Structure 1
Amino acid sequence: MAILWFMLSGTLHCFFEGYFMVNHREMASVQDLFGQLWKEYALSDSRYMTSDTLVLCMETMTVLLWGPLCFWVVTLIITQDSLRHPIQLLVCMSHLYGDTLYYATSLFDHYANNISYSRPEGYYFWLYYFFMNFIWIVVPFYYLAQSIRTLSTAVRFQQESVARSKTR
């Protein structure tokens, strides 16, 4: 399941969000499939049609850093490399941080500045904006906890091993 999750994340980050990063200036006039999908998503967050600085910077970091790191995690899982959990932890923290910032800025503008980026129909907000992004909180939180447990166990084992070798 982890391989599928990180492969899906890397693919969406590099290709779908990469499309936005490259085409953000003319997104409103683009007529191809990805352009139409972005315009549909923008009904839940209009910042994607205005090249909003936060959204553009966040998506650029996601495309250039987190997407490739997702693919690296897949490779580390397959090869059973010891770097898997440190890199997985980094990727999961970046997803949690990015989603938190994404939600927080939109909600701050909504409640503090009375600016809403979503259409009034509930399904745009709840299905597109909330649910489609909340997945990148729930799943990364699970894999973050997994990495913390694994790293903690490894450190405890190493500490006990060092302590045993000192008593000999």
Structure 2
Amino acid sequence: MPKGSDDTPVLTQVSVLSLALTAVFATGAFIFAQSVGKALSRVNKLVTAWLFFDALIHFTLEGPFIFWSLVSTIEKSTHVTAQVWKEYALADKRWGVSDPTIVSLEILTVFITGPLAVFLIFAILKNKVYRHFIQIVLCVCELYGGWMTFCPEWLTGSQNLKTDNFLYMWVYLVFFNGIWVLIPILLLCQSWMEMTGTGQVKQTKVVESVTTTSDTRKYNTRSHNKKRE
């Protein structure tokens, strides 16, 4: 089995099952978006898939984390729902010991961010006028959570982070936290474009270009027919 620089196994049974569960969630999210969002644009289908994946992670994984962290700690829990967090705690020790900052952020995530993701799915599917307001609030919450998760740790020397193991560093810490930074930023850009009309202007130009091309072809066809007559 591959090992990290400290001879710690890179892949364990729990890590493989955790990654597989994440892949199942992602696949289910895309299937959900395709089935309920048939009338949506490609971009909005992708947004819907992300939101469904986001909500699944918040409710099914982070919900149990809050429970076990409040009644005891992840390290002491033997329940199956705590195993994924025991694995993640190998990369960031704070998740195993009921760190007050982490638990506080997860409470915010499960009870506010999760429902907002579900509400935003509804707003997208029903084309509600408040869609982008909800999207902005959700993205700010996600970015705030990421910042407050890592900034205090960086300021204190990252003593709880394990960075000498490829899986823990680049998959758990960088990749899985990075997507909750990158995607919210992209969604904020989308909201900005829609609210300022930038996106609509581009769509209008495309429609005008297609219409002009179509009219030109019709005119050329009529002219060609007249010449033949």
* TM-score when normalising by structure 1: 0.84
State the shift of 1:123 in Å. Answer: 2.4
1:61 aligns with 2:108: yes
Residue 83 of structure 1 corresponds to 130
Change (3 A) 1:102 1:40: same
State the shift of 1:101 in Å. Answer: 1.8
Higher relative contact order (CA 8 A, sep 6+): 1
1:7 aligns with 2:75: no
What is the root-mean-square deviation of aligned Cα atoms in Å?
A: 2.0
State the shift of 1:120 in Å. Answer: 3.5
State the shift of 1:79 in Å. Answer: 0.5
Residue 165 of structure 1 corresponds to none
Residue 40 of structure 1 corresponds to 87
Residue 65 of structure 2 corresponds to 20
Aligned residue among 119, 128, 131 for 1:72: 119
1:94 aligns with 2:141: yes
Separation of aligned partners in 2, 1:110 and 1:131? 21
State the shift of 1:122 in Å. Answer: 3.3
**Structure 2: which 5+ runs fail to align?**
1-45, 202-229
Cα contact 2:92–2:162 (8 A) shared by 1: yes
State the shift of 1:32 in Å. Answer: 3.5
Deviation digits for residues 21-76 of structure 1 (CA, Å, limit 9, x no counterpart):
11112322333432111100111111011111110000000001000000000010
What is the one-letter code of the residue matched to 2:183?
V
What is the one-letter code of the residue matched to 1:19?
P
- Following superposition of structure 1 onto structure 2, how do residues 106-145 of structure 1 map, counting pairs within 5 Å? 106-110=153-157, 115-118=159-162, 120-145=164-189
Separation of aligned partners in 1, 2:160 and 2:53? 30
More helix per residue: 1 or 2? 1
Separation of aligned partners in 1, 2:102 and 2:95? 7
Separation of aligned partners in 1, 2:179 and 2:132? 20
Cα contact 2:73–2:97 (8 A) shared by 1: no
**Structure 1: which 5+ runs fail to align?**
158-168
State the shift of 1:119 in Å. Answer: 6.1
The 3-state SS of whatever aligns with 2:197 is: helix
Aligned residue among 164, 181, 191 for 1:147: 191
Separation of aligned partners in 1, 2:147 and 2:73? 27
